[in-house]
Amino acid sequence: MTTAIRRSPVLVVGVIIGLVMGAAEQIGSGIAWRAALSTVIPIGYAALVTVLAPRNEAASALAGRPVDERWEHINLEAATWAFGATAIVVLAMFVGVDAQGGDWHPYAFMAAVMAVAYVGSLLLVRLRH
């Protein structure tokens, strides 16, 4: 019998990210409630999506287990829109910080990582098909 965790690593990844973020917050600020919140948010999201996935089509797509081809397509399109929106925000922040004379390097780095990841993903997916 296959469990939900074996079919989707969302819960495991959420726990790992939550623990890492919580530890980083505790080390960085030393404020316990902020560390706890940084831990609980990713773990709570992953747990909620994992629990709701068998009963909810949108949650199943968020958990990486779309119920059918239609939801697989919806998930891919939503991911594309989310990536585009994120790219626009990163570029807007780059321009805004640069216009104010601030350090634009972190935004340029994020934009470069996004561009390389996108092009690399396209090439890898193309090679697979």
Average pLDDT over residues 13-39: 94
**What is the token pair recorded at 74?**
């919806």
Q: What confidence score (pLDDT) does residue 45 get?
A: 94
Q: What confidence score (pLDDT) does residue 1 get?
A: 45
**What band does 5 get if pLDDT is binned at 50, 70 and 90?**
very low
At a CB cut-off of 8 Å and minimum separation 6, what does 72 contact?
A: 61, 66
**What's this model's pTM, rounded to 2 decimal places?**
0.69
DSSP single-letter state for residue 100: T
Average pLDDT over residues 62-76: 86
Q: What confidence score (pLDDT) does residue 4 get?
A: 45
Buried b / exposed e across 35-50, counting CB within 10 Å, b at 16+? Answer: beebbeebbebbbebb
pLDDT at 6 over 80: no
Mean pLDDT of the chain: 90
pLDDT at 86 over 80: yes
Cβ-contact 3, 53 below 8 angstroms: no
